[in-house]
Chain A
Amino acid sequence: MSTKVNSAQIKGRVVRNKAFKSLFIAATSIALIFLALLIYRILSQGIDYLSIDFLRNYPAPYIEEAGIFAGLMGSIFLISITAPVSIILGVSTALYLEEYAKQNRFTRFIQVNVQNLAGVPSIVFGLLGLTFFVYILELGYSLIAGALTMSLLVLPVIVVASQEAIRSVPKELREASIGMGATKWQTIWRIVLPASIPGILTGSILALSRAIGETAPLIIVGAAAAIYTIPDSFFSKYTVMPIQIWSWTSRPQEEWQYVAAAGIIVLLIILLCMNAIAVWIRNKFQNRF
């Protein structure tokens, strides 16, 4: 039997090549089309209701006076607590697992569980927060309880992203540093962290933008739906944008849907800004080894 390639066989391969290319383009298009539809619908419904007053006003019973100020500030305050708590805990955990922990069964067990935690539904974290922060620590339905619950929610994602960033630092760089008499900590602080910070920050920002859009766990730990103050301490009542939007969509009059759409636009703009920062950081500190 001849093993020589004939042109008919090559033709078949080329056709298959094209078929798969079209298939993948189609798959990508489906996602893009739905994204475009979503944005179009939201913009066409909400753009007329978007104004400076909408950003400045508290929720109100009248559509003309309703605003997202409480939700916006609540989200910002919440993230300002969640970000440092989750990044400090997450990066420390990742450093321990990657640099210090012995590679044994126990470490692998922790590893697998951290990855599993990243996939646990957010409502479960809400229940954990309710039990632990609200009741056991007696923090009540406060900003700090919500922020700590959110920190738990994003922690596994930050740990996994940081571990990958730390692991991608070549071991030759660590050897060079250790070989000059540097301690492990000096090596981590001066070599490993600077080289992995882009990856850590990118992962953390993406995880935090997920937290900004979360609703379920915060409803459980008692974020308010209608509130007329902004938080002035860790123990204040608070609300966040997604909850505000959710409460508008559940009102009977149709016009509130448009107010909700305006809220969604604000939320989307903030998410896009956060993602843009993540992309900017990644490009600016592009891997140099």
Chain B
Amino acid sequence: MTTNTLSKHVFSIEDFNLWYGNDQAIHQINMEIPRNEITAVIGPSGCGKSTLLKTLNRMIETIPSVHTSGSIKYNNQEIFAKKQLVEELRTHVGMVFQKPNPFPKSIYENVAYGPKIHGIKKKKVLDEIVEKSLRGAAIWDEVKDRLNQNAYGLSGGQQQRICIARCLAIEPDVILMDEPTSALDPISTLKIEELIKELKNDYTIVIVTHNMQQAARISDKTAFMLNGELVEFSDTDQLFSNPKDKRTEDYITGRFG
């Protein structure tokens, strides 16, 4: 996939629908995700926000009953096109999951995993990538003396930053985050939020969160979803201070959800 046709928008979603078997989970979504900004997707449980996120790197296809209609373009290329290899898409669009999920390997091996599966074998190159990625995830100083220890010995917040470092190691363009702090304590959450704000300079970030304050704190744009529909999508300040849709207002003022 060539990136010389960089448009302002990383993803363009048009008339997108998704079904689990016969249940429609996403209805007719149109949205454009801007480059080098943080886009938050909020909404009550079961509104389809995680489903939408997992569609962007086609992880949703690991569920066999899923089928879709409409179009999603990544840098003007249709991600559902026949010639599009999902493995390639996922090296451009990385993902950080809800629960920290490091591999039961050393910290070094965790971060080097991505480069290794993509064929990098030289120790020196791998060393450089590992250091750069750990620095990028603001955890280098905490782990530089114990790179060969098992990642399971770290705290939950540290594990999640290792997972972010692991994602950075494949040098993605976009990072998808699926409620990355929901399993963490407030201090770890704060650190991750600070990290996300820094990452924005080099990456486009799409973050799903059920925490409205978090969306308000860190994101540039916010999308509100309800029952599989995109209710409102605008600048975060605008959405929280002056929502256009009655349902958005009800949700952010805590009347339901």
Provide the residues of chain A in CB contact with B90, threshold 8 Å: 178-181
Q: How distant is the Cα of A186 from the Cα of B102 in the complex, in angstroms?
A: 16
Would you call A176 an interface residue if the criterion is a C-beta within 8 Å of the partner chain's C-beta atoms? yes
In the bound assembly, the distance between CA atoms of A102 and B95 in angstroms comes to 25
B62 pairs with A180, CB closer than 8 A: no
Q: Are B104 and A183 in contact (CB under 8 A)?
A: no
Confirm or deny: A91 has a beta carbon within 8 angstroms of a beta carbon on chain B: no
Cα A253 to Cα B137 in complex, Å, equals: 79
Chain B contacts for A177, CB-based, 8 A: 103, 113, 117
The number of residue pairs between A and B whose CB atoms lie closer than 8 Å in the complex comes to: 66
Among the 9-residue stretches A63-71, A148-156, A167-175, A263-271, the one with 4 or more Cβ atoms under 8 Å from chain B is A167-175
* A175 lies within 8 A of B97 (CB): yes
Which residue on chain A has the smallest CB distance to residue B59?
A179
A177-191: CB near B (< 8 Å → 1, else 0) gives: 111111100100011
Stretch at the interface among B19-27, B44-52, B163-171: B163-171
Residues B92-124 near A (CB distance < 8 A): 94-95, 97, 99, 101-104, 113-114, 116-118
- Inter-subunit contact B170/A180 (CB<8 Å): yes
Assess the B101–A180 pair: CB atoms within 8 A. Answer: no
Digitize B163-203: 1 where CB-to-A-CB distance is under 8 Å, 0 elsewhere: 10011001000000000000000000000000000000000
A173 to B113, CA, bound (A): 12
Kindly state the separation between the CA atoms of A173 and B114 in the bound complex, as whole angstroms. Answer: 13
Assess the B104–A288 pair: CB atoms within 8 A: yes
* Interface membership of A62, Cβ < 8 A: no
| B87 within 8 A of partner (CB) | yes
Chain A residue nearest to B176 (CB atoms) is A179
Contact with A along B68-110 (1 / 0, CB 8 A): 0000000000000000001111110011010101111000000
Query: Which residue of the partner chain B has the closest CB to A289?
Result: B104
CA distance A190 to B113 in the complex (A): 9
CB of A180 within 8 A of CB of B59, answer no
Residue of A nearest to B95 (CB): A179
Q: Which residues of B contact A190 (CB under 8 A)?
A: 113, 116-117
Residues of B within 8 A of A191 (CB): 103
Q: A181-220: which have CB < 8 Å to B?
A: 181-183, 186, 190-191, 194-195
CA distance A190 to B104 in the complex (A): 11
Asked whether A233 is an interface residue with its Cβ less than 8 Å from the other chain, the reply is no
Which of A102, A176, A288 has the most C-beta atoms of chain B within 10 angstroms of its own C-beta?
Answer: A176
Return chain B residues, CB-CB under 8 Å to A178. 59, 62, 90
With known contacts A181-B170, A190-B117, A289-B152, A176–B101 Cβ distance under 8 A: yes
Query: B57's contact among A179, A183, A194, by CB below 8 Å, is which?
Result: A179
Contact between B167 and A175, CB atoms less than 8 A apart:
no
B104 touches A180 (CB 8 A): no
Please classify how large the interface on chain A is, using the bins under 10, 10 to 19, 20 to 34, 35 or more. 20 to 34
- Decide: A288 near B150, CB < 8 A? Known: A180-B94, A181-B117: yes
Contact of B103 among A102, A176, A186 (CB under 8 A): A176
Expressed in whole angstroms, the Cα–Cα distance for A289 and B101 within the complex equals: 9
The reply on A103 being an interface residue by CB < 8 A is: yes
A181 touches B114 (CB 8 A): yes
Contact yes or no, A180 B117, CB < 8 A:
yes
Looking at A177, A178, A180, A194, which has the most chain B CB atoms within 10 Å of its CB? A180
A103 touches B64 (CB 8 A): yes
Residue of B at shortest CB range from A103?
A: B64
Contacts of B116 in A (CB 8 A): 190
Residue of A nearest to B86 (CB): A181
Chain A residues whose CB sits within 8 angstroms of the CB of B118 once the complex forms: 181
Q: Which of B64, B87, B97 contacts A172 (CB 8 A)?
A: B97
Q: Are A183 and B97 in contact (CB under 8 A)?
A: no
- Of A102, A175, A186, A288, the residue contacting B62 (CB under 8 A) is A175
21 contacts between A and B (CB under 8 A): A172-B97, A172-B101, A173-B103, A175-B59, A175-B101, A176-B101, A176-B102, A177-B103, A177-B113, A178-B59, A180-B90, A180-B113, A180-B114, A180-B167, A180-B170, A181-B86, A181-B114, A182-B117, A183-B87, A186-B117, A289-B152
The 7 A-B residue pairs with the shortest CB-CB distance, nearest first, are A172-B101, A181-B90, A181-B91, A179-B95, A288-B104, A181-B87, A180-B114
